[in-house]
Amino acid sequence: MIFLLDTNIIIGLGRADPTITRRLSGHASNDCAVSAISIAELCYGAFRSRDPAGASAAIRLLPFRRLPLDETDAEQAGMIRAALGKTGTPIGPHDCLIAGQARARNLTLVTRNLREFRRIDHLDVEEW
């Protein structure tokens, strides 16, 4: 496993974004993972949609490994949130959790939100 896909990448994939589709086609599905935090964000969107059952089914069909949040991930997230808070450049708590998980597991975080994630030290980030 190499990449942790941010929520916005999964949303783009669901919309058949050609850039994301092309980038993913160069990797095996087991090269990529999705955080449990992203699954929660996707479920929130699904349950607010016009077709909650269909949207929920699409989430279950994602071919990527799901990563539960563990204590090391949570510790990294707390460190990130504290460091960004000290510099007056905070990001959202969900993004801190996803970034903490990527950093703790030495994964490249793939996102469309470089503006926020680039503020985090020792986090490998790519924009797709």
Q: Structure pTM? A: 0.93
Q: What class is the 3-127 domain?
A: alpha beta
Q: What is residue 109's predicted lDDT score, i.e. its pLDDT? A: 99
pLDDT higher than threshold 90 for residue 29: no
**Residues near 121 by Cβ (< 8 Å), separated by ≥ 6?**
83
Whole-angstrom distance, CA of residue 7 vs CA of residue 4: 10
Torsion, Cα of 43, 10, 101, 91 (10° steps): -80
**CA gap 39, 62 in Å, rounded:** 10
**41, 94 contact by CB (below 8 A):** yes
Q: Tell me: the pLDDT tens digits for 87-110?
A: 999 999 999 999 999 999 999 999
pLDDT for 55 equals: 86
What average pLDDT does this structure show over 35-44? 97
Q: Domain spans of the chain?
A: 3-127
pLDDT at 1 exceeding the cut of 80: no
Q: What number is the average pLDDT over the span 32-46?
A: 96
